[in-house]
Structure 1
Amino acid sequence: MSIDRNRLRKRVKRTMRPALDIVTYGVVMLLGALVRMLSREQTRRLACFIGDFIHRGIGLRRDMVYRNLSLTFPEKSSEEIGRIATAMYRNVASTLLEVLRLPLIRNRGDAASLVDIKGDDAFWEWQRSGKTGAVMVSAHYGNWELMATAFGLLICPVTIIVKRLHNERVDRKMNDYRTMRGNRVVYPKQSIREGLRLLQNGGTLAILGDQSDPDEANFGEFLGRRTTMFHGAAFFALRAKVPLFVPICTSNGDGRYTITLTHIDTSDLSFNKTDIAILAARYTSAIEAQIRRRPEEWFWLHDRWKRGCD
């Protein structure tokens, strides 16, 4: 009987999914039309409302978020953990609304009015050299979608490796937003061939390398706990012999953002499995350091330790 119920649930889910996808797409489009009519301050207030509703009302993954925050920061009180969680949910909502406002960023001036870029000496030297190819590895931190659009307008276009969304309509619209100002996207299955070709031709490849690897190809520590590790950015940088930078987008608290770029040294490394792991550990360490400094801006809603955790 239980097997029959399970089959029935799966059949109902498959039957309803197309309709649910259409409804979801319609809601996203309506929300996008709304936020593009609002001022930035009104959008920020709406993001706080939505974030608090997801946190306190729906409770989306709330237990997991609080557990992972407590395990990562055992020295923090329950009140501090609660404040971080509240700010995180609001930041996630803000990032979503900012994605829907991307069509309002039409040129370099619009991007510069929202984002400041601060790079180390190695980054500006690379930028002045004429951009001979580079890998940018970042995290689901701050406003990562706005960062890609602003970077493409203010520095150079980038090709972003993106995960395909289950909702095809939303996936297409998201990629429309991501590419409307000159950036490109590529899905993981095509990324090795297209990514290497891009880098060899002097292009810039962008990767978010902070989530769990479903293939479980490599393991290591992230924020002090064992889990899977993505080595893709290290593979590309060492195989193509191009520099690797970690860009991080942080909120200034006033509706503006700062992108900080840090060069990760590869001068002592070559293209082999051991050195790929060493480089992955180096840029992971840079991402971890930022998360520890301002944990409220990282995407704790992802179950980062679901594979290989204690």
Structure 2
Amino acid sequence: MKEVALEAIARMGQRLSFESVERLGAGLGKLLWAVLKSRRELATEAVEHQLQVSRGEAERIARESFMHSGRSFVEIFKSRDVDWGFAHQKIKIADPEAFERVRTADAPVVVATAHMGAWELLTGMLELYASNDVPKAVVVRRPRGDALANVMKSLRTQPNVEIFHHRNVALKVLRVLRKKGMVGFLVDHNCSTSEAVFLPFLRDFAAVNMGPALLALRSKAYVCPVFLLRDGNGAFEVHCEEMLDTRELTGSREERIQKVCEFYTGAVQRIVQRYPEQWFWMHKRWKTQPAKDWEFPGLFLEERGLK
């Protein structure tokens, strides 16, 4: 019964226009700001500390972040509507040459993105711009509850893009990458110590998931940070950084993993510093911290056949 109700909501959401989704998302953001007091305080304090701004400025950024996040949540309804008509009207490529290098890469590509801007529409972008001859997938966190997980997966799935839930996903991702495919990851999640490389992120250490780095190294892939930002006028701009070629990295396995993690974490940091209002500040990004005796988690690699 729960899944039936969620499917009905999904169908209604898919019938909305992009403009209606924008308004609905903004309203959702305002509601979340009003009722989620603990998250409101968490976000404001994080902005104040991490960006070293005044309390008033931190509150402004955090409030706008809630509006952007509300829009991002609701935009899941429109992922399948990112077609060429939408692209011509609404999407600008900030650096067309860099974007074309990603699109036509001669090796697999790990796309590293974040809870930034219109992240739910990036699956539609991958469907639209990557060649149909290239296998494509996106790795997402599985929400709690089978009903919600199934409906969200259905909303995100594209004809030529697979959706993988993040648990026990390594072999599925490697199958795509070894066919010179493209796989997208959200790399700004907090994660457990067993999965983490601890790196500076803004002013504190954060647990950075090494999974995307491991898989990129195993498949000899490029790593490319890509973000889809709102321009404030109802349109979007793709920000695509230069790719890292993992085939050119040197050093021990641990050193190469850390270099890749530093690469995509640095990209997220730069985009957050430039567009702080569009990042998901209510997330507990710095929750997991390293123990004094923390060591590189080799057991994690062995258990997943990645060592």
Instruction: Decide: shared fold, TM above 0.5.
Output: yes
> Deviations 1:108-147 (Å, cap 9, x if unpaired)?
3334433233446454234345x53211011111111101
Q: CA deviation at 1:57?
A: 3.3
Aligned twin of 1:68: 46
Q: Does 1:179 align with 2:154?
A: no
- Within 5 Å, which residues of 2 pair with 1:100-111? 100-105=77-82, 107-111=83-87
- Structure 1, unaligned stretches of length 5 or more? 1-18
Q: CA deviation at 1:35?
A: 4.2
Aligned twin of 1:81: 58
Q: Cα gap change, 1:248/1:59 in structure 2, threshold over 3 Å: closer, same or farther?
A: same
Q: Cα gap change, 1:86/1:201 in structure 2, threshold over 3 Å: closer, same or farther?
A: same
Matched residue type, 1:155: A
Distance between the aligned counterparts of 2:175 and 2:272, measured in 1?
A: 32
Aligned length: 285
Distance between the aligned counterparts of 1:233 and 1:167, measured in 2?
A: 25
Q: CA deviation at 1:42?
A: 3.4
Match of 1:214 among 177, 187, 192: 192
Give the fraction of aligned pairs with identical amino acids, expressed as a percent: 23
Aligned CA-pair RMSD = 2.5
Distance between the aligned counterparts of 1:144 and 1:274, measured in 2?
A: 30
Aligned twin of 1:305: 286
Aligned twin of 2:294: none
Q: CA deviation at 1:38?
A: 4.1
Q: Cα gap change, 1:86/1:149 in structure 2, threshold over 3 Å: closer, same or farther?
A: same
Q: Cα gap change, 1:50/1:128 in structure 2, threshold over 3 Å: closer, same or farther?
A: closer
> Deviations 1:33-60 (Å, cap 9, x if unpaired)?
4544444333322322221111023435
Matched residue type, 1:88: S
> Deviations 1:267-307 (Å, cap 9, x if unpaired)?
64147111110121122111101101111111112101111
Distance between the aligned counterparts of 2:8 and 2:155, measured in 1?
A: 15
Contact 1:54 1:60 in 2 (8 A): no
Aligned twin of 2:127: 152
Contact 1:264 1:282 in 2 (8 A): no
**Which stretch has the larger CA shift, 91-100 or 119-128?**
119-128
Distance between the aligned counterparts of 2:187 and 2:289, measured in 1?
A: 17
- Within 5 Å, which residues of 2 pair with 1:1-310? 22=2, 26=5, 28-29=6-7, 31-59=9-37, 61-74=39-52, 76-105=53-82, 107-119=83-95, 121-128=97-104, 132-156=107-131, 158-216=136-194, 217-266=196-245, 268-270=248-250, 272-308=253-289
Where 1:125 maps in the other structure, the secondary structure is helix
Matched residue type, 1:269: L
Distance between the aligned counterparts of 2:226 and 2:84, measured in 1?
A: 19
Distance between the aligned counterparts of 1:120 and 1:278, measured in 2?
A: 26
Contact 2:115 2:279 in 1 (8 A): yes
Q: Cα gap change, 1:36/1:123 in structure 2, threshold over 3 Å: closer, same or farther?
A: closer
**Structure of higher CA gyration radius:** 1
- Structure 2, unaligned stretches of length 5 or more? 292-307
> Deviations 1:57-111 (Å, cap 9, x if unpaired)?
343511211111111022x222211111111111111112211233444x43334
Where 1:263 maps in the other structure, the secondary structure is coil
Contact 1:32 1:97 in 2 (8 A): no
Runs of 4+ with deviation above 6 angstroms: none
Matched residue type, 1:299: F
Contact 2:80 2:124 in 1 (8 A): no
